Structure 1
Amino acid sequence: MANTILRSNHHSKAFQALKLFSLLLLMQRVGAYEFKVGGAKGWTVPTDPNTIAYNQWAEMKRFQIGDSLVFIYPADKDSVLQVNKEDYEKCNKANPIASFADGNTSFKFDKSGAYYFISGNEENCHKNEKMVLVVLADRNKNTNSTISASPPSPPPSDSVDITPSPVPAGEESPHPSGASSIIMSFIGSVGAFVGSSLILVL
């Protein structure tokens, strides 16, 4: 009888440890964010085609490796092209790095650096349906990721400087600071160790 109660307590403790470990893993995975390009308006010609609205939108965000962009647009009238810097500036759609035309495109960042997007409709691109943004380097891990696109040169008169601006007062950056990421990694590692130790005891 005492043996059965003792065994039941071990199973209960192992189950509790497994739940804690799962929770810690979930907390670590929450670091990636999905950004809807252009907010409620989506991917379309800006209301004022003389402004570079998408670059202004991108300046207010902090993009990191693992984050995703979602482009919402009418698939029968528009598309999204990832291009190089020169093609971005000229609205050249002849040699895209990637092309999307499904109307609900999700694009995940796999490395840091500058990314250039234009509308597949050349007329829309010339009306500033285009965007350049910078994905921040991953300072929490030792990666050998390289920047595939060169950072933007000094902006011409019709473009916007894409240096990330500080988060506006009263708003939090969606990404944790480097210190909190390190703490979360440490907590996850300790949780994994404790969880595996408890499972081995059983």
Structure 2
Amino acid sequence: MASSQLFIIFAILAISAPSILATNYVVGDGKGWTINFDYQAWARGKMFYVGDNLVFNYPKGVHNVFKVNGTGFQQCSAPLDSVPLTSGHDVISLATSGRKWYICGVAQHCAMGGQKLLITVFPSSFAPSPSPTWESSNPSWSAPAPSPTWGKEAKGKPSSLAPAPSPTWGYTG
């Protein structure tokens, strides 16, 4: 009974650990999402992981947030069919790994005011890593050296050192 309760506790922790350990990054820290701020310098040195959140704080009605692609980021343009975030406290969950681009679509805030952010999101550190596989032809593994054996030849004279047969290993992946 105690072991099943322990198993349930570990299962709950394993499932909830990524959300418990997710980091909320307030874009621009105390400055928030504004013009004339170096967001690339702000992002430098930060490690963003799947499950983390970006929080864009700004005065409602003054700025907005568009998620764009690399071209939209370079040209400071959002696709015509995209809808901006406009709440003034926009939380974006980083659900997938890869590069992410965000811009402000108000007036020239992106092009002239530098109000744009590029980050790289890494896979969650809680993703299971692949387990090692063993193959008999694995060059990084070799059987132990055979131990010498003494034997007698048919005529009764001692033979030279002869290796014992090597064991066979049956590792499969």
Distance 2:107 2:116 in 1: 10
Q: How many residues matched?
A: 124
**TM-score of the superposition, structure 2-length normalised?**
0.61
Cα distance between partner residues in 2 of 1:37 and 1:138: 20
Partner of 2:140: none
Q: Percent identity?
A: 27
Pairing partner for 1:108 from 72, 81, 93: 93
Do residues 40 (structure 1) and 30 (structure 2) align?
Answer: yes
Query: What is the DSSP-based 3-state SS (H/G/I as helix, E as strand, rest coil) of the residue aligned with 2:84?
Result: strand
Cα displacement (A) at 1:40: 0.4
Paired position in structure 2 for 1:185:
none
Match of 1:21 in 2: 9
CA distance in 2, matches of 1:142, 1:114: 22
Task: Kindly report the root-mean-square deviation, in angstroms, between the aligned alpha carbons of the 2 structures.
Answer: 2.9
Q: Which amino acid aligns with 1:133?
A: I
| Distance across 2 between alignment mates of 1:25 and 1:125 | 42
- Contact 1:80-1:117 within 8 A present in 2 as well: yes
Match of 1:74, SS? coil
Name the CA shift for 1:96/1:63 in 2 (closer, same or farther; >3 Å): farther
Aligned CA distance change for structure 1 residues 96 and 73 (closer, same or farther; 3 Å) = farther
Aligned to 2:122: 136
Instruction: Note the C-alpha offset of 1:36.
Output: 0.3
Q: Is the 8 A contact 2:49 2:125 kept in 1?
A: no
User: Per-residue CA shift, 1:108-156, capped at 9, x if unaligned?
Assistant: 011100000000213111110001000013465369xxxxxxxxxxxxx
SS at match of 1:106: strand
Counterpart of 2:70? 85
CA distance in structure 2 between the partners assigned to 1:84 and 1:96 by the alignment: 13
Q: After TM superposition, where is structure 1 displaced by more than 4 Å over at least 4 residues in a row? A: none
CA distance in 2, matches of 1:36, 1:57: 10
Q: Which has the larger radius of gyration?
A: 2
* CA deviation after TM superposition for structure 1 residue 74, in Å: 1.2
Structure 1 spans left out of the alignment, 5+ residues: 1-9, 48-52, 144-202
Instruction: Tell me the amino acid that sits aligned with residue 92 of structure 1.
Output: S
Q: Which structure 2 residue ranges, 5 or more long, are not aligned?
A: 130-173
Query: Relative contact order (C-alpha < 8 Å, sep 6+): which is higher?
Result: 1
